[in-house]
Structure 1
Amino acid sequence: MTKFSDLGLNPLLMKAIAEEGYETPTPIQAQAIPLLLEDKDLLGIAQTGTGKTAAFALPTLDFMLEFPQKRRARSARVLVLAPTRELAGQIADSFRTYSRHMDCNVQTVFGGVNINAQRRALQGGADVLVATPGRLLDLVGQKAVSLQEVEVLILDEADQMLDMGFIHDLKKIVAQVPKDRQTLLFSATMPKLISDLAQQFLDNPVRVSVTPPSTTAERVDQGVYHVSNNDKLELLFDVLNNPEIDRALVFTRTKHGADKVVRKLLAKGLDAKAIHGNKSQPQRLKALDAFKNGTCKVLVATDIAARGIDIDGISHVVNFEVPNVPEQYVHRIGRTARAGRTGLAVSFVAEDERYYLRDIEKTIGMEVDVLKAPDGTKVDLLPTPDPNERLYKPKGPARGNGGGRSGGGGRGGQRRPQAKAKPQGGAGKPGGKQGGRSRGGKKRKLEGARG
């Protein structure tokens, strides 16, 4: 079994890893770190909770230690892009944790907070800048930061950034980053748009994939309640009253729905908090802290706001509304099966959601068990549907997964105008590289330097 000590990381990083109590890398760390130490571009397919943040943070910090450089005003050597404030904050915390024994300034910028404080923080420059795309472009436009010194570009949760409408923002950002760089792109899913994006942004990347949907699904005990939409709130209260629940993460598809669920639970005497894009940053942090420390055992979230939340000890996931994207279901239920643990996920399926449930079952390769009503409930569950019934995709507007760009950075989460894309970064790839890369003449000393 591979150990961190086998990967050839700088001793200062090894010291921080040991202080965190880690000895054995996760699968994505074991696969990605050696490749990134060779300066390769990388396309990583991995969900939150697989250890992917350390998979890119450690080799990036190793590069900075091998090639120390004086910090330049209003610049950054490493740029990490993330879809939400929460994920950006967690990535920055990881970089700070592993760089505690080196001189490394980590800054975070995202929307929803005063931009002037972020401008001041960037005046002296940053070694690592973690940002949401909208706020970063605001700061670039105000000349508070330049991207001309970026040597490593990391796009985390790229599929979510596309879902949130950041595609044009990403192209604008990449066009301003030097072509001579290392680029890493991580995504929980691999739709065609991500493949296209990887072709544009990455130079001959290696691909690393861990935790396919079936693996997550097999670790989680799953069940469904067939219930009318009108009875879902009553059923949710009865399910959450189970004393075996330590922490429950409840998913709704809209911000309004999350608030409504919390109001109803509070009215019944059950403490719950909501997290979504309309909440201020202090409100979101307060809700997360209460959930983490156990003072509040129920957190209600939209998919986008919850993306990147990495909290251990979630015993139950409740899909109050079924997602219309099967991969989103896998991502949701995986939050209760971290680090190889098992978990329990239940879904409330109304008649108009049966199509989505069947789509999910095809993706995970198994039928989800139908559950009996909880003891003491007054809710009359719907009959179990005929598995041979022909189902049709619901008509009307596409069901969202979180109500737009909730939780994103820049302009209070408002969607940017969808301007026509312009050719960027010269011919071919926007901001792409031509020929080989040495990052300004810097090459790692791979032979003899790592023992």
Structure 2
Amino acid sequence: NIAKEQYTSPTPIQQQAVPVALSGRDIIGIAKTGSGKTASFVWPLIVHVLDQPYLQKGEGPIGVIVAPTRELAHQIYLECKKFCKGLGINVAPLYGGQAKLEQLNALREGAEIVVCTPGRLIDLIKTKKCPMTRVTFLVLDEADRMFQLGFEPQINSIVGRVRPDRQTLLFSATFRPKVETLARNILVDPVRIVIGKVGQANEDIVQRVEVIDPAMKWGWLTSRLPAFVGHGSVLVFVSTRQAAQELTKNLNLYGYPSTSLHGDKAQAERHEIMKQFKKGEFKVLVATDVVARGMDVRSIKTVVNFDLAKNIEAHIHRIGRTGRAGEQGTAYTLIVPDDKPKTVADVVRNLQSTGIHVSPQLLEIAMKNKKFASSRTRRQKGGGEPQAARPIGPRTGGRGIGFTQGGGGGGGGKPAKEG
């Protein structure tokens, strides 16, 4: 099945994570967006399931994959289905927007793997529709996003209902303190695998950030769309549902067939839109952050942050919708003078951490953030500005055992000593 999906060589996260997971160890995986991490936990899970006694009717799943959003859960579900084809492994989707009765029937008939969102799984556990006694493989994907969405109590509840001798894999694109605390509480002697720098954008993505007057944004977009569409599909992010609808309407009037995707649309409609977008039935998709995670469309060559994201995590995951699986992509971010200084400062830090030049206009907005301005002043007094600022997030060394690999390259790093 791997060969059928045209996988010719593993990505760096797959090189590191798959052998470790196959050995039975717990994992903390910190990887940039578009790194191929889904396969790095799906493949070992399939091997794990095949090694277990056959599932009896009504026993509940062997492997559980938890994702923060319906969109990401659906994407993982589709990946699981592809790789499980012909192996006698049933995969059940447990998340909103799908027929609940069909999900319950799939569980009753026997599903070795469940892909779910925290809320739906908790509901089914509480009503005793999803026994957890056979679960020996647990995956928490996009852990940082789960905390952002307020799922901490649900995650702790789910983990508490799974047997202690389980194998647990935790993946995140960023490694904030809450995620680190969760990892320490639920993982046993984990191997830490870091691909690239913590909180860093995919190096296959060319980033362009422009400071612009709000009234000039429409002209900027329409003047560049012909070139963007000529290279492939275009994903445009805006901050509100109303903005998505308005921009889509204007683009269609301008002659660019486009569709909007936001939280007001039903799940079935979202799936249909994504299916059409993947097929290339339209080249421009205007979306809110509802699709910032989980979307895997390799034809997306350009991402445009028409409105700045609310925070750096959302920004990183937005631009990570291009540059997938080694493909090259370009991400444009339009920043207006009134944008939130803290977010702008975080964007500047992220750009500097990858060696990208920061314009004086962009730096001027970032300096409105007191913390950023203070740290920059201290560095200058201490001997000048470093060539690359430290990436956002905690250091990758420290407690636990782990592989750390910089710059996203391949090859096996040596295990770090436990400290």
Distance 1:188 1:225 in 2: 25
Structure 2: how far apart are the matches of 1:352 and 1:337? 29
| Rounded Cα–Cα distance in structure 2 between residues aligned with 1:187 and 1:387 | 29
SS of residue paired to 1:241: helix
Cα distance in 1 for partners of 2:108, 2:10 equals: 36
Alignment check: 8 A CA contact 2:199 2:313 kept? no
Could you tell me which runs of 5 or more consecutive residues in structure 2 were left unpaired when the two chains were aligned.
371-419
Supply the distance in 2 between the matched residues of 1:59 and 1:347 (Cα, whole angstroms): 37
Question: 1:112 matched to which residue of 2?
Answer: 97
Partners of 1:157 and 1:389 in 2: CA distance: 30
For the residue of structure 2 that corresponds to 1:17, the secondary structure is coil
Distance 1:369 1:315, change over 3 A: farther
The counterpart of 2:317, out of the listed 318, 331, 338, is 331
Aligned with residue 275 of structure 1, among 243, 261, 277: 261
**8 Å contact kept, 1:74–1:124:** no
For residues 218 and 305 of structure 1, what CA distance do their matches in structure 2 show?
Answer: 21
Shift of 1:192: 0.7
In 2, the alpha carbon distance for the partners of 1:211 and 1:297 equals 31
The change in CA–CA distance for 1:218 and 1:75 in structure 2 (over 3 A counts) is closer
Kept in 2, the 8 Å contact 1:217–1:334? The answer is yes
The residue number in structure 1 matching 2:233 is 247
Would you say the 8 A contact 1:80–1:154 is kept in 2? Answer: yes
* 1:385 pairs with 2:361: yes
1:238-290 CA distances to partner (integer Å, 9 max, x unpaired)?
Answer: 33233534211111233333233222322333221222222111211121112
In structure 2, what is the equivalent of residue 27 of structure 1?
12
Q: What are the residue-to-residue correspondences of 1:146-165 with 2, within 5 Å?
A: 146-165=131-150
Residue pair 1:71, 1:127 contacting (<8 A) in 2 also: no
Matches within 5 A, 1:9-408: 16-73=1-58, 75-212=60-197, 216=201, 218-242=203-227, 243-353=229-339, 355=341, 356-365=343-352, 366-368=355-357, 385=361, 387=363, 391-393=367-369
Q: 1:175 to 1:390 in 2, by over 3 A?
A: closer
Q: Distance between the aligned counterparts of 2:365 and 2:149, measured in 1?
A: 34
| Alpha-carbon contact 2:208-2:332 (below 8 Å) kept | yes
Conserved? CA contact 1:217–1:364, under 8 Å:
no
TM-score scaled to structure 1, two decimals? 0.75
Q: Displacement of 1:92 after TM fit?
A: 1.8
Aligned equivalents of 2:239 and 2:327: distance in 1? 26
RMSD: 2.4
* Partner Cα distance (1:321, 1:340) in 2: 26
Q: Which runs of 5+ in 1 are unaligned?
A: 1-15, 371-383, 395-451
TM value normalised by structure 2: 0.80
Which residue does the alignment assign to 1:398? none
- Superposition misfits of 4+ residues, deviation over 4 angstroms: 213-218, 367-370, 386-390
Task: Report the secondary structure of 2:209's partner residue.
Answer: strand
User: What residue identity is the alignment partner of 1:196?
Assistant: T
- 2:26/2:167 contact within 8 Å kept: yes
Amino acid at match of 1:259: Q
Contact 1:76–1:127 (CA<8 Å) still a contact in 2?
yes
Residue type matched to 2:314 in 1? Q
Tell me which amino acid in the other structure corresponds to 2:139: I
The number of aligned residues is 366
> Which deviates further from its counterpart, 235-244 or 276-285?
235-244
User: For residues 362 and 171 of structure 2, what CA distance do their matches in structure 1 show?
Assistant: 39
1:379 alignment counterpart: none
Q: Note if contact 1:216-1:337 (Cα within 8 Å) is conserved in structure 2.
A: no
Q: 1:228 to 1:160 in 2, by over 3 A?
A: same
Cα deviations across residues 426-447 of structure 1 (Å, max 9, x unaligned)?
A: xxxxxxxxxxxxxxxxxxxxxx
The alpha-carbon distance between structure 1 residues 386 and 31, as it changes in their structure 2 partners (threshold 3 A), is: closer
